[in-house]
Structure 1
Amino acid sequence: MSHSRLISELPGDAVTAAVTLRPRALILDADRNKPWLAERSRRSAEAAGFTCVEGTHLSGPCLILRAGEVLRSPGSFRPPPAPQGKAFVAVGLPPSGEWSDFHSRHGGDYPATLPPPLCEWHATEETAQARLSGETLPPDSRIVHWQALDLARTDQRLSVYQIVTSLQHGGAEKIARDLANALPDHGAASCLVVLGKPHRGTLPPNGVVLDLSHVPRLERAGFLSKLAIAQGADVLHVHLTDADETRALAKSGIPLIATIHNSRQGWPRGWETMASGDIRLMLACSQAVEAELRESLPKIPARTVWNGIRPNQFPETPLPSTHICFTLACVANPRPQKRLDRLPAILAALRDELASRGVIKPVRLIIAGETSPRLPDAVESRAAVDREAAKFGVDLQWTEGKQPVREVLANAHALVSCSAHEGLSLAHLEALSSGRPLIACDTGGTRELAWKNPAVTLLDAEATPATFAQALADALLSPPPSAHKLIWRDFTTDNMTERVARFAKQAASFPKEPGHTLWFVTNNLAMGGAQSSLRRLAKSFHQRGLPVKAALLQEYPEHPTPGRQDLLDHGIEVFVPPPAGIIDPQEGVDLILGEMAAAPPAAVVFWNAITTHKLLLADALPFTRVHDISPGEMWFSSFERCMENPPPGLPCRVPSDYGRLLESFTVKYSAEATRAEAIGAPVMVIPNGVILPPAPRRRKKVEGPLVFGSAARISPQKRLDELIAAFRLALPDLPESVLKIAGGIETGAADYAAELFELSKDLPVEWLGETQDIGDFHAQCDVFVMISDPAGCPNASLEALASGLPVIASDVGGASEQVIDGLNGRLVPARDVSAFADAMVDLSRDAARRDAMSLAAREHIRQHFTVERMTDDYLRLFFPDAS
């Protein structure tokens, strides 16, 4: 009797006790970067009646199963009878490999020296512990091959089942078939599963198809679930299945994702009732569909994966001659939502419109589609079109699937579509790829094809035949430039499959509940205020016992910067892939995602990171809260440049596309919050924080010149040329003074540094270079001076105020929230060198005033800008559910 049957026959109060008696299984050698392998084996072991345990301390009979392996017939497993008085081990064999070779040499009765464990049943914990520790089993052990433990053929790749309701002529069916065929090119194994029989002509498969159309409809989900576990499927990807069947498949425990191929009017039956526990991830074929999913099912993660075609199958071809006639094409199967019955009136109106422009030529229409006799609404749709064609006396031809779409498009001058709702039409992609203009209703994802695309004309869904006729006449008489390159940029099968492979891997890798690690993603930990703030925050979280990791985008793994070494010295792990510029952004992102799979995030925080990497990462993390921390003006200018040419295939073209991927967007000062609202994510204001020294660190009163100090890396953004100009202008009215500047030369700024050195060579200016001890530098200064543009919430001025230095700053960014004019320093208009010079002279003349400002400076930091306050603010943001 199987364990599952035994439990089902026990009385209710005995079930709990019986579960504890289930034999145990240990999944061996789990790969932290490929967690789906261990999950695959866990499902197999549990289907065979085992309880999976962690650790290596076992008791009683147990199964050892290497991660990634699955039992060929888990539902029929029975423990082998153990001989009395002997250590007993039963072994399952793989289809090939070291154990198969070992078996061919020894037969089914093995010696005590064995290959490494793959699949073994141990009657006692003593032999299991020996195998786990690499010891040889006792010489009198009985070790046999047990067929019930034999393994299915699997590999290390993610295994994704593409499940579609039927393999008939249709867009969704083509997508499922193409994904099954293309996923192996993107690192995933794949299987195409067809659940039912077609209503229209059968779509030819490209490879092996698992046909379940012979299985009764109510049984096929259970049948497929058992088969998928036995064959080691890691993800089930469904297309067109209704809510009930989708839920039934989800009960397998295999992560399930679904592609939604239509606008809400065309969703599978009951889809609006889906809940977060029913499905892991929804993939929308267009951003328009994703928006509807987010509105109707806000608790289920959703991402857009644009439909794609193979450009070589629809190459650009010259427009046919217009000497004899104009030919329009419509590619659609007759269904009510396609509104094909409007086409005859449009064709008649076009004939009149052309005549009004002095063009007297026949106009004909070819409809490439099939009428399913088993669908009454399809038959009626076809009949309605024929009635309208007779009424308006237009030339209309049906292909009924007997002419390839590629040929239809090659012979057409334009594609016309008046669908009431769409997902993202493959026919539209195919026409544009072929170099044909598209005139279509602005429904579903069609607008997404019009981005920078003059070949697409969008009309209102209720546009009149006359309006259609005017747009068609314009396209026929003055054809727009071909848009094939735009389609090949974003809407290819390769782009689509790569995204599906990545999301499938995320679904199989990330746990259902958020992880525990707070991940920071930043460019580097070299010099700079943003980097200093990040290090302070990371160390503060770490000191509070929160797991923290950082990923760096622009450092070399073998050359740690002092900032990176600082985090490592404090016990914070840092992952450093090859830097951006050495590898492709997507490759770097994928490496980071692999590390995150090994340490699942509680949240991911972008802190001064490259925009392209942020877009790719935020998109690829549907199960994770993602926060973006703005460093000020540089964030916005970099973002705007990237959005002009976003990564190919990424549905992120306007700021709000990115904002939808974020949990929050944080700015460093209040005035920036209004601008940030354009991102579309919830906006938070969290200023930087610094460590407040126990006592002031400004220069003690000694003889000698008055010291103005500035700490800034040498970069044009810091406008040190203006600071030198202000110092030169103020110098005649200053007491004996010196300007000390601490900061290294930023990469690429050597020429600017040379200009600065030349500007200051006749002035009392000291260039101190990079400093590792800012407190020591402050102790040399009387007044801190800062001209910087752009600036968010500059750390240099905060650190100076914390040290008790009066600060003269230009009114840029968040400086006005730090420097209160006349209280703890002087705030002068931006880019006003003369006003800055006057402020330097003003503070030089009154030592008592500088002393009062010193006290006010430290108090202002204590009240508003401590690292403790910053940490608390971010703690509430990143962990809103924490008590």
Structure 2
Amino acid sequence: MTDVTKILLVIRSLERGGTERHLLRTIPSVSNAQNKIEIFCFERPGELAPSMKALGVNVVTPPVSGWLHHVPLILKPFSTVWTCLYFLFYLFVKNPKIVHFFLPAAYLLLGPFSLLHVTSRKIMSRRSLNRYLAKYPGWVRKVEQSLHRRMDLILANSSSVFQELEENEHVPHEKLRLIYNGVSVSQDDAPALRNDVRAEFGLPDDTVVLITVANLLPYKGHADLVEACGIVAATRKAQFRWTLMAVGNDNVGLKATLETQAAKLGIAGNVHFVGKRTDIDRCLGAADIGVLVSHEEGFSNAILEGMAAGLPMIVSDVGGNPEAVMHNETGLVVPAKSPAELAEAIEYLCLNRDLAAKMGEAGRKRAISNFSIERSAKDYAAVYNSLK
């Protein structure tokens, strides 16, 4: 009988986000008779937890974790101590063979405590460039670098993240692995889906629909995109109907500012912030061009989802974006924080619809061949098997 390897994934929660959706797509197929995976959400289960459980992966949270999430600020230290102690207790009770950390909060808070469980192998997944360290005091960087030295493996989700870990954070090459995100490709009837969703949003068939899928956060570049759309609308060459659909949660109250910006540019009627959606595939099916112009990025699920939907993608030249989108083949890569060049790219694809469609089809084929869920899951399984 084959021994079962117990693996504990550690993350803040399974609220809907890029990393969380990535885990929901890949981890259930990795958890099997040989690898029994549980997910430890140290703050709260999150919106995707029921779906993860339905696919056979247990999701664990500390008792009363939901209540602790809402305690007054003065009690936060007590809730943090409780979370750390329960995590340590859980490690020794369940005795996993492998502990795998996702995202900085889980790594920085619970990574040091995991070292007390000396029999388990440790993995950290870095899913972005390390710009997030700028908001922390200098000692946090030292803690992270100390943890790096104690990890058995560190996973990067793009070559740019891999390179940063190796060259700037001095992680040995032999300790690093590259696992790209995976994406599923819809088999739905695309024309019918397009007509259905456009009817829902009241979009005429001849309207060029731009879509960006990203939570409303400053570094995601929405302000650059709105400014670029204003430039497109102002040029005499733009003899076409267009609209921008921005899908994403307003986490920090940025929507009002962006709407004011659009109004000042005279394009308020063309720009629609539709909020968080659970039917992103349907929204992509209504679009003609995908856009993601972040100021920083690791490797974006949103780009892969757009490619899988057959959209030509316009992306900024940061992080893993140029690794996903081949310039002039599956879309266009533009400099970050450059609304003027972004406007040129948008106008070019809008005026060359046949070329845009060919780029979109090439992107779809690239997503299928290079960034499948099956490939990503297989890579995770290989990493876990290497540590047995």
Once residues 755 and 643 of structure 1 are traced to their aligned partners in structure 2, the CA distance between those partners, rounded to angstroms, is 29
Query: Is structure 2 residue 63 aligned with structure 1 residue 572?
Result: no
So what's the TM-score if we normalise by structure 2? 0.84
The structural deviation recorded for 1:817 is: 0.7
Q: What SS does structure 1 have at the residue aligned with 2:31? A: helix
Query: Is structure 2 residue 319 aligned with structure 1 residue 823?
Result: no
The structural deviation recorded for 1:716 is: 1.5
Once residues 778 and 543 of structure 1 are traced to their aligned partners in structure 2, the CA distance between those partners, rounded to angstroms, is 32
Q: 1:9 corresponds to which residue?
A: none
637-646 or 590-599: bigger deviation? 637-646
Asked whether the 8 Å contact 2:207–2:243 carries over to 1, the reply is yes
Query: Is structure 2 residue 2 aligned with structure 1 residue 523?
Result: no
Query: Is structure 2 residue 215 aligned with structure 1 residue 713?
Result: yes
Once residues 116 and 136 of structure 2 are traced to their aligned partners in structure 1, the CA distance between those partners, rounded to angstroms, is 18
| CA offset digits 1:478-534 (Å, max 9, x no partner) | xxxxxxxxxxxxxxxxxxxxxxxxxxxxxxxxxxxx972221111221132111112
Q: 1:814 corresponds to which residue?
A: 320
RMSD: 2.5
Once residues 661 and 588 of structure 1 are traced to their aligned partners in structure 2, the CA distance between those partners, rounded to angstroms, is 22
The structural deviation recorded for 1:787 is: 1.3
The one of 94, 98, 104 aligned to 1:599: 94
Structure ID, larger Rg: 1
| CA offset digits 1:381-423 (Å, max 9, x no partner) | xxxxxxxxxxxxxxxxxxxxxxxxxxxxxxxxxxxxxxxxxxx
The one of 358, 361, 366 aligned to 1:855: 361
Once residues 308 and 190 of structure 2 are traced to their aligned partners in structure 1, the CA distance between those partners, rounded to angstroms, is 8
The structural deviation recorded for 1:562 is: 2.0
The one of 185, 192, 202 aligned to 1:692: 185
Q: 2:201 corresponds to which residue?
A: none
Once residues 17 and 315 of structure 2 are traced to their aligned partners in structure 1, the CA distance between those partners, rounded to angstroms, is 18
Asked whether the 8 Å contact 1:673–1:683 carries over to 2, the reply is yes
C-alpha distance 854-695 of structure 1, shift in aligned 2 (>3 A): farther
Q: 2:283 corresponds to which residue?
A: 777
Once residues 337 and 349 of structure 2 are traced to their aligned partners in structure 1, the CA distance between those partners, rounded to angstroms, is 19
- For 2:53, the aligned partner's letter is L
Q: 1:563 corresponds to which residue?
A: 48
- For 2:93, the aligned partner's letter is A
Once residues 282 and 161 of structure 2 are traced to their aligned partners in structure 1, the CA distance between those partners, rounded to angstroms, is 33
- For 1:619, the aligned partner's letter is L
| CA offset digits 1:666-706 (Å, max 9, x no partner) | 11111222320225351112111111223684846973311
Once residues 368 and 189 of structure 2 are traced to their aligned partners in structure 1, the CA distance between those partners, rounded to angstroms, is 12
The structural deviation recorded for 1:661 is: 1.3
Q: 2:247 corresponds to which residue?
A: 742
The one of 258, 274, 279 aligned to 1:756: 258
Q: 1:171 corresponds to which residue?
A: none
**1:458-607 counterparts in 2 under 5 A?**
516-542=5-31, 546-555=35-44, 560-577=45-62, 578=65, 581=76, 583-607=78-102
C-alpha distance 787-569 of structure 1, shift in aligned 2 (>3 A): same
Unaligned runs of 5+ in 2: 70-75, 199-203
Once residues 111 and 120 of structure 2 are traced to their aligned partners in structure 1, the CA distance between those partners, rounded to angstroms, is 14
> Identity, % of aligned pairs?
21
C-alpha distance 660-618 of structure 1, shift in aligned 2 (>3 A): farther
Q: 2:160 corresponds to which residue?
A: 671
Once residues 366 and 189 of structure 2 are traced to their aligned partners in structure 1, the CA distance between those partners, rounded to angstroms, is 13
Q: 2:228 corresponds to which residue?
A: 726
Asked whether the 8 Å contact 1:586–1:616 carries over to 2, the reply is no
Q: What SS does structure 1 have at the residue aligned with 2:364? A: helix
C-alpha distance 597-655 of structure 1, shift in aligned 2 (>3 A): closer
Asked whether the 8 Å contact 2:101–2:111 carries over to 1, the reply is no
The structural deviation recorded for 1:768 is: 1.2
- For 1:787, the aligned partner's letter is V
Q: 1:613 corresponds to which residue?
A: 109
Relative to total residues, which structure has the larger helix share, 1 or 2? 2
The one of 286, 303, 308 aligned to 1:802: 308
The structural deviation recorded for 1:841 is: 0.3
Unaligned runs of 5+ in 1: 1-513, 647-651
**1:241-256 counterparts in 2 under 5 A?**
none
C-alpha distance 781-669 of structure 1, shift in aligned 2 (>3 A): same
Kindly tell me the number of residue pairs found equivalent between the two proteins. 355
| CA offset digits 1:344-398 (Å, max 9, x no partner) | xxxxxxxxxxxxxxxxxxxxxxxxxxxxxxxxxxxxxxxxxxxxxxxxxxxxxxx
Once residues 33 and 368 of structure 2 are traced to their aligned partners in structure 1, the CA distance between those partners, rounded to angstroms, is 20
C-alpha distance 670-765 of structure 1, shift in aligned 2 (>3 A): same
Q: What SS does structure 2 have at the residue aligned with 1:822? A: coil
- For 1:617, the aligned partner's letter is F
Asked whether the 8 Å contact 1:667–1:673 carries over to 2, the reply is yes
Q: What SS does structure 2 have at the residue aligned with 1:879? A: helix
The structural deviation recorded for 1:554 is: 3.0
C-alpha distance 638-848 of structure 1, shift in aligned 2 (>3 A): closer
- For 1:742, the aligned partner's letter is V
- For 2:284, the aligned partner's letter is H
The structural deviation recorded for 1:653 is: 3.9
Once residues 667 and 547 of structure 1 are traced to their aligned partners in structure 2, the CA distance between those partners, rounded to angstroms, is 23
Q: What SS does structure 1 have at the residue aligned with 2:35? A: coil
**1:219-238 counterparts in 2 under 5 A?**
none
- For 1:706, the aligned partner's letter is V
- For 1:564, the aligned partner's letter is A
The structural deviation recorded for 1:731 is: 1.8
Once residues 683 and 596 of structure 1 are traced to their aligned partners in structure 2, the CA distance between those partners, rounded to angstroms, is 25
Q: What SS does structure 1 have at the residue aligned with 2:257? A: helix
Asked whether the 8 Å contact 2:313–2:360 carries over to 1, the reply is no
Once residues 588 and 844 of structure 1 are traced to their aligned partners in structure 2, the CA distance between those partners, rounded to angstroms, is 51
| CA offset digits 1:638-667 (Å, max 9, x no partner) | 456657235xxxxx9465422221011111
- For 2:122, the aligned partner's letter is V
- For 2:319, the aligned partner's letter is G
C-alpha distance 663-881 of structure 1, shift in aligned 2 (>3 A): closer
C-alpha distance 656-768 of structure 1, shift in aligned 2 (>3 A): closer
Once residues 598 and 619 of structure 1 are traced to their aligned partners in structure 2, the CA distance between those partners, rounded to angstroms, is 15
| CA offset digits 1:51-86 (Å, max 9, x no partner) | xxxxxxxxxxxxxxxxxxxxxxxxxxxxxxxxxxxx
C-alpha distance 704-866 of structure 1, shift in aligned 2 (>3 A): same
Query: Is structure 2 residue 263 aligned with structure 1 residue 767?
Result: no
Once residues 829 and 608 of structure 1 are traced to their aligned partners in structure 2, the CA distance between those partners, rounded to angstroms, is 26
Query: Is structure 2 residue 280 aligned with structure 1 residue 786?
Result: no
Q: 1:630 corresponds to which residue?
A: 126
Once residues 808 and 779 of structure 1 are traced to their aligned partners in structure 2, the CA distance between those partners, rounded to angstroms, is 17
The structural deviation recorded for 1:779 is: 1.2
The structural deviation recorded for 1:813 is: 0.6
Once residues 583 and 516 of structure 1 are traced to their aligned partners in structure 2, the CA distance between those partners, rounded to angstroms, is 33
Asked whether the 8 Å contact 2:153–2:176 carries over to 1, the reply is yes
**1:38-187 counterparts in 2 under 5 A?**
none
Asked whether the 8 Å contact 1:518–1:546 carries over to 2, the reply is yes
Asked whether the 8 Å contact 1:697–1:778 carries over to 2, the reply is no
Asked whether the 8 Å contact 1:801–1:857 carries over to 2, the reply is yes
Once residues 228 and 37 of structure 2 are traced to their aligned partners in structure 1, the CA distance between those partners, rounded to angstroms, is 43
Once residues 832 and 865 of structure 1 are traced to their aligned partners in structure 2, the CA distance between those partners, rounded to angstroms, is 28
Asked whether the 8 Å contact 1:606–1:629 carries over to 2, the reply is yes
Query: Is structure 2 residue 147 aligned with structure 1 residue 658?
Result: yes
The structural deviation recorded for 1:844 is: 0.4
C-alpha distance 860-695 of structure 1, shift in aligned 2 (>3 A): farther
Asked whether the 8 Å contact 2:304–2:367 carries over to 1, the reply is yes
The structural deviation recorded for 1:755 is: 0.7
